[in-house]
């Protein structure tokens, strides 16, 4: 790049420093979590504080003042927020991954989003549940996209479309970058967990999207991105692996927090209807704590192995092969499997009090379980993808690898 002088001077903090800033906010984020559930949107105080702390900059290009970090740091930050509140962690995670997606678009599209508004947040949905009509200079898009996490806070959205030719035939699949002001909105997120994530429905009716704000998806799955800035390592990360693994981040924090909460009460909480006056005296309880801790550790080992696979390949400028990419999906499923098992053990060990409305454990249990059902992270599906890849079978079950 010869336009170095155009680049704003961004001081990029270390991952530890960003996580430290988030940790400082944890008491406030946790205090707001019940209100966030009641409102079905993260409390604005939390969003503002996280924005000020740079939590939404970690996957934004440095050209716009972002930190342009790594898959590893995305996990670190999502997990740190997740220790305080699942719904907030989900919003941070999804806005960051959509910022990453925006970083794959041509520079002109990125300018549209960030040149004048460097703090702009982007939400998004990959499913092309829409129609796109080819018109002069772009497409007219009509559709409805459910589950736009962070929709309350985003001013842009990346939304799946079928790409058509002049005859109306579908010739490709794409992501369209559309300003929120062009989109309708319906509140549709009425769920058992991740209530505050604001995963609502965005609606387009004949919205014109210029060519430069359309990104082909199959090409991206194969590692062919539109950004001209091919020197930017983060935007060479593998497409589906990153989209999948990023969703494990909040889970790591939820698991760690559950273990911390249950362990902290163990010396003062009895085991009801037994002679144990402290849970920590019970060998059965000790085994449960050890098992939960090991399951959570296992989740971390796999999450960070996968993150390092993604980061190392991007740094080398190599696009990982199908087996390596499938393994990240399997790793992601493994994280969810083990975190949800660990949390189940912990709520059983802690007892029925886990489910009291004033006990944060019940929210962690609901948030973790609901988030663990996101379609690109489902363990059974992800293991099947990996198994088929290992066996070199030609009956793969999804294009999303």
Written as six digits, the tokens of 106 are 């041509």
Written as six digits, the tokens of 283 are 């060998």
| Residue nearer to other proteins on the CB measure, 49 or 400 | 400
CB of 172 to other proteins, least distance (A): 6
Burial of 24 (0-12, 13-18, 19+ CB in 10 A): exposed
* 142 DSSP assignment: E
Site size with other proteins, rule: CB under 8 A = 21
Q: Which of residues 328-387 bind other proteins (CB under 8 A)?
A: 375
| Residue nearer to other proteins on the CB measure, 224 or 308 | 224
Query: What whole-number distance in Å separates Cα of residue 96 and Cα of residue 249?
Result: 12
Q: Which of residues 379-398 bind other proteins (CB under 8 A)?
A: 398
| Residue nearer to other proteins on the CB measure, 26 or 188 | 188
CB of 70 to other proteins, least distance (A): 27
| Residue nearer to other proteins on the CB measure, 265 or 374 | 374
CB of 156 to other proteins, least distance (A): 21
Q: Does 241 bind other proteins (CB under 8 A)?
A: no
* 397 DSSP assignment: S
Q: Which of 102, 132, 138 is nearest to 118 (CA)?
A: 102
CB of 188 to other proteins, least distance (A): 8
What φ, ψ does residue 358 adopt, rounded to 5°?
-90, 5
Q: Does 206 bind other proteins (CB under 8 A)?
A: no
If residue 178 lies in a helix (H) or strand (E), which one and from where to where?
strand 170-179
| Residue nearer to other proteins on the CB measure, 67 or 139 | 139
| Residue nearer to other proteins on the CB measure, 218 or 356 | 218
79, 250 contact by CB (below 8 A): yes
Q: How is 1-13 classified by DSSP, letter by letter?
A: ---GGGS----PP
CB of 126 to other proteins, least distance (A): 6
Query: What whole-number distance in Å separates Cα of residue 179 and Cα of residue 191?
Result: 27
Given 23, 72, 144, 341, the residue binding other proteins (CB under 8 A): 144
Q: Both ends of the chain: CA-CA distance in Å?
A: 31
178, 213 contact by CB (below 8 A): yes
Given 20, 27, 218, 222, the residue binding other proteins (CB under 8 A): 218
Q: Does 222 bind other proteins (CB under 8 A)?
A: no
Q: Give the per-residue contact string, 146-185, with other proteins (x = CB under 8 A; - = no).
A: x-------------x-x-------xxxx------------
Q: Give the per-residue contact string, 92-131, with other proteins (x = CB under 8 A; - = no).
A: ----------------------------------xxxx-x
CB of 333 to other proteins, least distance (A): 17
| Residue nearer to other proteins on the CB measure, 294 or 375 | 375
Burial of 217 (0-12, 13-18, 19+ CB in 10 A): buried
Q: What angle do CA 17, 19, 267 make, to 5 degrees?
A: 125
401, 326 contact by CB (below 8 A): yes
CB of 246 to other proteins, least distance (A): 18
Query: What whole-number distance in Å separates Cα of residue 219 and Cα of residue 216?
Result: 6
Query: What whole-number distance in Å separates Cα of residue 299 and Cα of residue 253?
Result: 11
Instruction: Pick the piece of the chain touching other proteins (CB under 8 A) from 43-51, 142-150, 255-263, 280-288.
Output: 142-150
**Binding residues for other proteins, per CB under 8 A?**
126-129, 131, 142, 144, 146, 160, 162, 170-173, 186, 217-218, 375, 398-400
């Amino acid at each position: 790049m010869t336009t170095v002088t155009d680049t704003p001077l961004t001081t990029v903090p270390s991952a530890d420093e960003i996580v430290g800033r988030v940790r400082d906010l944890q008491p406030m984020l946790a205090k707001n979590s019940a209100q966030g559930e009641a409102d079905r949107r993260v409390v604005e105080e939390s969003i503002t504080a996280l924005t000020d702390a740079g939590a939404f900059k970690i996957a934004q290009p440095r050209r716009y003042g972002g930190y342009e970090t790594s898959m590893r740091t995305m996990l670190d930050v999502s997990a740190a927020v997740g220790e305080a509140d699942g719904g907030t962690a989900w919003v941070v995670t999804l806005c960051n991954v959509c910022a990453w997606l925006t970083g794959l678009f041509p520079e002109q599209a990125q300018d549209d989003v960030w040149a004048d508004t460097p703090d702009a947040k982007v939400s998004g949905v990959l499913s092309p549940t829409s129609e796109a009509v080819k018109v002069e200079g772009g497409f007219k898009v009509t559709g409805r996209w459910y589950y736009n996490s962070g929709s309350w806070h985003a001013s842009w959205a990346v939304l799946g479309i079928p790409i058509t030719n002049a005859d109306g035939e579908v010739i490709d699949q794409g992501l369209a970058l559309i300003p929120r002001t062009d989109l309708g909105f319906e509140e549709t997120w009425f769920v058992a967990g991740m209530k505050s994530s604001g995963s609502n429905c965005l609606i387009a009716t004949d919205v014109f999207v210029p060519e430069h704000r359309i990104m082909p998806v199959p090409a991206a799955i194969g590692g062919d991105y539109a950004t001209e800035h091919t020197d930017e390592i983060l935007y060479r990360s593998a497409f589906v692996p990153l989209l999948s693994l990023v969703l494990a981040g909040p889970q790591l924090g939820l698991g760690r927090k559950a273990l911390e909460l249950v362990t902290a009460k163990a010396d003062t909480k009895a085991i009801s209807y037994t002679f144990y006056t402290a849970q920590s005296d019970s060998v059965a309880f000790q085994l449960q704590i050890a098992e939960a801790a090991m399951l959570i550790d296992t989740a971390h080992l796999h999450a960070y192995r996968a993150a390092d696979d993604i980061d190392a390949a991007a740094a080398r400028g190599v696009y990982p092969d199908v087996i390596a990419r499938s393994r990240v999906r399997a790793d992601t499923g493994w994280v969810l499997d083990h975190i949800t098992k660990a949390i189940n053990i912990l709520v059983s060990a802690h007892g029925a009090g886990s489910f009291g409305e004033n006990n944060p454990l019940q929210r962690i249990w609901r948030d973790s379980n609901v988030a663990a059902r996101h379609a690109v992270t489902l363990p059974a599906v992800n293991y099947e993808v990996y198994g088929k890849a290992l066996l070199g079978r030609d009956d793969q079950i999804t294009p999303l690898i």
